[in-house]
Structure 1
Amino acid sequence: MRREYDKYHLISVFCAVVDHGSLSKAGSHLGLSAPTVSKTLAQLEQVLGQVLLIRTTRSVSVTDAGRLVYQQGQQIINAFTDLEDRVAEIGALDRGKLRLTFPETLGENVFSQICIDFQEAFPDFNLELIFTPHHLDMVEDDIDIAIRVWSAIPDSQFYALPLFHIHPIFVASPEYLKKKGHPDSIEELGKHNILLARLNGLKDGWLFNGKFYQFKGNLVSNKTTHIRAAAINGNGIAILPSYFCQPAIKCGQLIEIFPDLKQEVQVVGALYKVRRNSSKKIDLFLSFLERRLRKSDFDLLVSAESE
Structure 2
Amino acid sequence: MRREYDKYHLISVFCAVVDHGSLSKAASHLGLSAPTVSKTLVQLEKVLGQVLLNRTTRALSLTEAGRLVYQSGQKILSAFTDLEDQVAEIGSLDRGKLRITFPETIGKTVFSKICNDFQKEYPDFSLELIFTPFLMDMIEDDIDIAFRVSESLPDSQFFSLPLLNIYPVFVASPEYLAKNGCPYSIGELSQHNMLLTRLNGLEDGWLIDGKYYQFKGNLISNETYHTRSAALNGNGIAILPSYFCKKDIQRGRLIELLPELERKDKTVGALYKVKRKGSKKIDIFLSFVESKLQESDVTMC
- TM-score w.r.t. the length of structure 2 is 0.68
SS in 2 for 1:299: coil
1:98-177 counterparts in 2 under 5 A?
98-177=98-177
Corresponding residue number in structure 1 for 2:205: 205
**AA matched with 2:287:** S
1:92-142 superposed Cα distances (whole Å, 9 cap, x missing partner): 221211110011112111111111111111111110001112221212211
1:250-279 superposed Cα distances (whole Å, 9 cap, x missing partner): 332212112232311211100001111111
Corresponding residue number in structure 2 for 1:71: none
Corresponding residue number in structure 2 for 1:275: 275
1:250-261 counterparts in 2 under 5 A?
250-261=250-261
1:240-259 counterparts in 2 under 5 A?
240-259=240-259
Corresponding residue number in structure 2 for 1:299: 299
Larger Rg: 1
1:145-191 superposed Cα distances (whole Å, 9 cap, x missing partner): 10011212311111010111112110111221222222111111112
Equivalents in 2 of 1:161, 1:103: separation in Å? 16
| CA contact 1:171–1:254 (8 Å) conserved in 2 | yes
| CA contact 1:170–1:238 (8 Å) conserved in 2 | yes
1:185-227 superposed Cα distances (whole Å, 9 cap, x missing partner): 1111112111111255336433445432122211111111111
Distance change (3 Å), C-alpha of 1:102 and 1:208: farther
Distance change (3 Å), C-alpha of 1:297 and 1:291: same
SS in 1 for 2:283: helix
Unmatched segments (≥5 aa) in structure 1:
6-83, 302-307
- After TM superposition, give the deviation of residue 247 of structure 1 in Å: 2.7
| CA contact 1:90–1:96 (8 Å) conserved in 2 | no
Equivalents in 2 of 1:127, 1:91: separation in Å? 20
Distance change (3 Å), C-alpha of 1:101 and 1:279: same
Distance change (3 Å), C-alpha of 1:172 and 1:294: same
1:223 lines up with 2:223 in the alignment: yes
The farther-off stretch of 122-131 and 256-265 is 256-265
Equivalents in 2 of 1:150, 1:201: separation in Å? 13
1:42-70 superposed Cα distances (whole Å, 9 cap, x missing partner): xxxxxxxxxxxxxxxxxxxxxxxxxxxxx
Q: In angstroms, what is the RMSD of aligned CA positions?
A: 2.5
> Would you say how many aligned residue pairs link Structure 1 and Structure 2?
223
Equivalents in 2 of 1:121, 1:209: separation in Å? 49
- After TM superposition, give the deviation of residue 246 of structure 1 in Å: 1.8
| CA contact 1:208–1:263 (8 Å) conserved in 2 | no
| CA contact 1:203–1:220 (8 Å) conserved in 2 | no
1:68-107 counterparts in 2 under 5 A?
87-89=87-89, 92-107=92-107
Distance change (3 Å), C-alpha of 1:205 and 1:246: same
Equivalents in 1 of 2:85, 2:224: separation in Å? 43
| CA contact 1:107–1:131 (8 Å) conserved in 2 | yes
Unmatched segments (≥5 aa) in structure 2:
6-83
Distance change (3 Å), C-alpha of 1:106 and 1:203: closer
Equivalents in 1 of 2:296, 2:259: separation in Å? 18
| CA contact 2:228–2:238 (8 Å) conserved in 1 | yes
Distance change (3 Å), C-alpha of 1:4 and 1:296: same
- After TM superposition, give the deviation of residue 4 of structure 1 in Å: 9.9
**AA matched with 2:273:** K
Distance change (3 Å), C-alpha of 1:260 and 1:297: farther
**AA matched with 1:119:** Q
Distance change (3 Å), C-alpha of 1:90 and 1:258: farther
**AA matched with 1:230:** A
Equivalents in 2 of 1:98, 1:91: separation in Å? 18
Q: What percent of counterpart residues are identical? A: 67
- TM-score w.r.t. the length of structure 1 is 0.67
| CA contact 2:276–2:283 (8 Å) conserved in 1 | yes
